[in-house]
Structure 1
Amino acid sequence: MVRKYVITGASDGIGAAVTRELLARGHHVIALGTDPAKGEALVDAARGTPGNVEFIRADLSLVATNRRVVASILEHHPAVDGLVLCARFIRSYRAVTTEGLEDNFALLYLSRVLFGYGLRPALENAARPVIVNVAGPGHDTPVAWDDLQSARDYDGVRAMFLASRLNDLLGVTFAQRFGDGPVRYVLFHPGTTSTGIVGEYDPPTAAYVEQQKALAKPASEVVPPIVRLLDDPPAEPLTAFTPYREIDLGGGLFRPADAERLAKITDELLDRVRE
């Protein structure tokens, strides 16, 4: 049976590897990325498979773009079987979008809020819908409640880890709000993987990134566990996994009170960001 999937960050790394596997299985993929050349490569790759792909070029660090793309997907695809969230862009220096939001916070966190909640109506029309949020759950980076957008003493790696922590709490909130519905929410940690690790780096960070890529496992190794989650979503409203084990959600990193606090801040912020 042909299924339909939306993948953000689909032109690089894990997102691209998952896209290619789904195409090989004959599925329909709506692939989002920023690089038109890499998007064309996905379209070319699809021609030799039983699947098909739509590539959408979009800068998902912008709230307005997320809202526009989500609305378009809903208009043209009333049912979506799965959503895989992979988009990220690491920066050594703090950057602010044209909407006034810190880039990591906007892309790695807010875009996943907007896509998960925004595509929920289409997901609920599928038989066994699932969201797989590839954001690295379980990292113990403290949540700086008074500095969620890393304005003080910016460090690109810490900002990325903070955004990952926010995604943990996003999963908790999604399950609280919609756990009685059919959509399963899965937080996925790929471990150290030789992905595109796309970003803008200072020279020491660039050297470190290249070293990590040389030592890391290829993206193809984390495709099977992600695809298994798409094929057979967990029964629970919220789960978290590494490629090899399930992560316990009972610790302090997934506190409902923290999730509620973040959800309130996020809802108020998004209400202020208008197209």
Structure 2
Amino acid sequence: MKTMVVTGGTDGMGAALVRHYLRGGEQVVVVGRSRAKFDALVAAIAAEGVPLVAERSHFHESDLSLITDCRRLLEHIRGRFERIDVLVLAASFIRQKRHVTREGHEASWALFFVSKYLLVTGLADRMVAAEQPVILNFSVPGAKVDALDFHDLELTEAFSFARSNAQQRRANELLGILATQDPNISYVTYGPKGLVKTSLAGDVGPVIKYASVLLAPLIGQAPDEAVQPLIALIADPPLGRVAYRGPKKVPLNHGTDDEFDARRLNSLVENSISGS
């Protein structure tokens, strides 16, 4: 039986992966903000006659834009599990405007990168203990190599949604360098192909709301269909850093200083959260 951790596991593609693996007999730690959604998900699977669902499903309520919640989550996982086979980083809350958390960090940067950094580095020894460890990071690949502003990681100046998005995506590609120091670990940077029928969590404007509410139900894939390429990747993981859009493997953008940039990012993030 594999042990899996899925952030953003109560909705959308995260929930679809949770359903698939609970039906398949695996043990799943679901991280989210709604206990009610988790209970409904587990009850629906149990109603199908799937055995021992309650025993194999574990919920941890977290706001992953908060460093303290991330650290509590890590403590919880490390205290209960000696091995993590699969880490799925799918938590999402889209903000078009800059927002500062009560801890003083820019919320999107904290959620879409720092929380992932903490989980990847904090669970490294648990993943190395697995036979075929896989990190699946929902972060659309293909950011430009110069997208990251090392002098202003939280974009205190000249914030825009586009810059914030590019910054997070590039940082998550560099995170793969840190994650794959052990050659047995597979680190997949992943973006779905096209729209997916899912609710949109976030504070967004009318254009994005229109696309989510009107277009996605009409032309988007169902989450259970959209995760099929991910299930295949988890079953037969490629080694090292790779990137996919839907079922298609796509190239990562490689800079001449990637290794140095990854170490620099590591140092800057550690310094920025040391007091949190």
TM-score (norm 2): 0.88
2:83 pairs with 1:84: no
Deviations 1:169-204 (A, max 9, x none): 1112222xx234x32222112233323331012334
Unaligned runs of 5+ in 2: none
Which residue of structure 2 aligns with residue 192 of structure 1? 194
Find the partner of 2:129 among 115, 125, 131: 125
2:175 corresponds to which letter in structure 1? L
Q: Is the 8 A contact 1:190 1:242 kept in 2?
A: yes
Which residue of structure 2 aligns with residue 206 of structure 1? 209
Matched residues, percent identical? 31
2:229 pairs with 1:225: yes
TM-score (norm 1): 0.89
How far 1:269 sits from its partner (Å)?
A: 1.6
Q: Is the 8 A contact 1:70 1:115 kept in 2?
A: yes
2:109 corresponds to which letter in structure 1? F
Deviations 1:72-97 (A, max 9, x none): 11111111211100011101222111
Quote the Cα distance in structure 1 between the aligned partners of 2:150 and 2:8.
27
Change (3 A) 1:58 1:248: same
Unaligned runs of 5+ in 1: none
Which residue of structure 1 aligns with residue 18 of structure 2? 19
Quote the Cα distance in structure 2 between the aligned partners of 1:144 and 1:210.
33
Q: Is the 8 A contact 1:30 1:54 kept in 2?
A: yes
Find the partner of 2:245 among 234, 242, 248: 242
Deviations 1:35-70 (A, max 9, x none): 222121122133232443112111111111111111
Quote the Cα distance in structure 1 between the aligned partners of 2:155 and 2:212.
21
Quote the Cα distance in structure 2 between the aligned partners of 1:62 and 1:82.
23
Quote the Cα distance in structure 1 between the aligned partners of 2:7 and 2:117.
12
Q: How many residues align?
A: 268
2:137 corresponds to which letter in structure 1? N
Find the partner of 2:111 among 83, 107, 132: 107
Please state whether the residue corresponding to 2:227 is helix, strand or coil: helix
Change (3 A) 1:76 1:112: same
Which residue of structure 1 aligns with residue 147 of structure 2? 142
> 4+ runs of 1 displaced by more than 4 Å?
none
Which residue of structure 2 aligns with residue 165 of structure 1? 170
Please state whether the residue corresponding to 2:40 is helix, strand or coil: helix
Q: Is the 8 A contact 2:143 2:253 kept in 1?
A: no
1:192 corresponds to which letter in structure 2? G
Quote the Cα distance in structure 2 between the aligned partners of 1:147 and 1:208.
31
